[in-house]
A = this chain, B = another copy of it.
Amino acid sequence: MSAVEPTRPPEENSRRMELIRAAASLFRDQGYERTTVRDLGNAVGMQSGSLFYHFRTKEEILVAVMALGIASTTEQLAAALAQAAAPRDKLAALFRVHLNSLLGDNQAALEVMLYEWRSVSAAAKPALVVLRDRYEALWQQVLDDAAAAGMIKQDTRLLRRTLLGSLHWTVQWYRRDGELGVDEMAERMLQLVLFE
């Protein structure tokens, strides 16, 4: 499988990345504050003290989870947009990529980024904000193009914020065992914003 993801850095398969992924699930399920370093060690089969060989603090783990969540989502969105030609298809990509990154299998990191923001220290925020702004800039561009094509409302800056809010909040009510699939829901949410 090594040839499948040739562009990823080598740390992808390291112990450190294994820890980040385990932390993402725990932080999502229990919250950052309620997850102890003992929980984290347990999840990867090591003692809590050993974690601090890989990370200096618990917060450093949180930041790594968040950076992974937003960066990998941005990567996926950029790839999807590159493949889509029509404005309608680019719009659809926004919804589809975001919801899959949030609600899909083994996708916990983006949710942590969105919902544990308060636990990030002031020192660590700027770097994450840069990543988030990069993601939202992709959104803004697609929305502006769609508005120019007369497909959606013109108030695109507020529209971007309301749409992202709608999508972010799905984690609070979406049930994976329900009738509605993620891609299907992405399409229906897109329909709500299109003129026709």
Give chain A's interface residues, CB within 8 Å of chain B: 30-31, 33-34, 115, 117-119, 153, 155, 158-159, 161-170, 172-173, 185, 188-189, 191-193
Residue of B nearest to A185 (CB): B158
Contact (A155, B191) CB under 8 Å given A165-B166, A167-B165: yes
Asked if A163 and B166 sit within 8 Å, CB to CB, the answer is: yes
Number of copies of this protein chain within its complex: 2
Residues of B within 8 A of A173 (CB): 161
Contact (A165, B158) CB under 8 Å given A33-B34, A192-B153: no
How far, in whole Å, are A163 and B155 apart by their CA atoms in the complex? 16
What's the nearest-Cβ distance from chain B to residue A191, in Å? Answer: 7
Residues of B within 8 A of A189 (CB): 158, 162
Residue of B nearest to A171 (CB): B165
